[in-house]
Structures are given as C-alpha cells and as structure tokens.
Amino acid sequence: MAFNVINTKVEWVLEARKPTAGPLLVIPANDHLWMGTGPGLEIKKAHGKELEVEAVRQGPVEPGAVVETSAGGTGFQRLLHAAVLDQENHWVPGAGRLAARAMVEAAERLRASELIAYPFHRGAHVRPEVALPEMLSGLLDALERGSSVRRVVVLAADATEQTVLQQTFLQALSSRT
C-alpha cells in the first residue's frame, strides 16, 4: 500500500525487493556515525570500512542530524546517516522526528527525486513502537509543506513489519486532523 502526501508517494517495500540503485539510501546511525550495527554494519561488511571512516570524520553530531557520505559500491549515489542513537546505540528521544525531517531536507538539497530509508529502529536498543512514530511523524512534517522529493520508500524486513509501518503511518496521519 502506498500513500500520497502532497506531491510525494510514500510506500513500504520488503527488503527482498529493495531497489539496488538510486540517488539516496538512508541508514540509522549513532551520534558518532560508527557503522557497527544494523544496516550500517551490513553495508560496511559488504562494501568496506571506508564508508564508515568517511562518516566518522564528520562526527560526532547532535542527535537528529543527518550526515551525507559517498555510497561506495552500494549502487546508490549517496548515503545519508541519520543520527538517532547515542554511542551505545540507544534511542535518543526526539531524534527520530528531527532526523526524518533532515533526511528529506538533505534529499531536496541534493536534488534527489527519491530516497530509500531503513526504519530508524534497526540496530538500535529500542522497540519499533517507540521509534517508528517519531520517524514517520517527522517524515510527514517534511512532506506536508510540499517537497521536491517525489518518492520515499521505507524498507520493511518482512510482511509483519510492513503492516506495522502502514498502521503507524495511518496513526500519524489521523493524529494530524
């Protein structure tokens, strides 16, 4: 199921069907930008530690910030590291909403028409019920003002997570009226 928010299509895609290329891939990160857990670790293992070194040189950053790096051999043009965790990979309350806004702003600045994002709870010491409402509310904040980003894809690990993403997004939408 996809949703249209002003000019942007928001959809949930199973990781097994993840696009293998595109302008931007967003991964959750800690405030020091280490790629030691979740999608960041998977990318580092597959494509080398150079991406982590590039990110770490820009840190530490405030929670809620988004840092842009090259994407190495991932197939994407750029990686966005969304700082939503502390050094111990614990969720920082409020950072998810800020980082979601910042990822859309970064995509606009980079003139990207779409972005692919991992849910911000991946690799974190936090339950999805805590992280997803922040992430999706921040995404709505950014898109409701009108955005040049035409497509946002949030990756779901499985059908259960896909359903949770859809339900959480509907709750975020309904709370705005």
**14-60 per-position pLDDT tens digit:** 999 988 899 999 999 999 999 989 999 999 999 989 999 999 999 89
- The contacts of residue 63 (CB under 8 Å, 6+ apart) are 31, 83, 84, 85, 86, 92, 94, 95, 98, 99
Cβ atoms of 110 and 23 within 8 Å: the answer is yes
Cα–Cα distances (Å) from 128 to 62, 108, 120, 131, 164, in that order, read 22, 27, 8, 5, 9
Domain range summary for the chain, segments of one domain joined by +: 2-174
Query: Which pLDDT value is given to residue 177?
Result: 62
pTM of the predicted model as reported, rounded to 2 decimal places: 0.94
The token pair at 59 is 């840190």
End-to-end CA gap in the chain: 21
Indicate the pLDDT class of residue 1, thresholds 50, 70 and 90: confident
Position 174 scores a pLDDT of 87
Q: Quick: pLDDT tens for 64-104.
A: 999 999 998 999 999 999 999 999 989 999 999 999 999 99
DSSP designation for 91: B
Sign of the Cα pseudo-torsion (30, 117, 161, 5, in order): positive
Beta strand extents in the chain (DSSP E only): 2-5, 8-14, 22-30, 66-70, 76-85, 114-117, 151-156
Q: State both tokens at 79.
A: 């990686």
What average pLDDT does the structure give for the chain?
93
2-174 CATH fold: Leucine Aminopeptidase, subunit E; domain 1 (3.40.220)
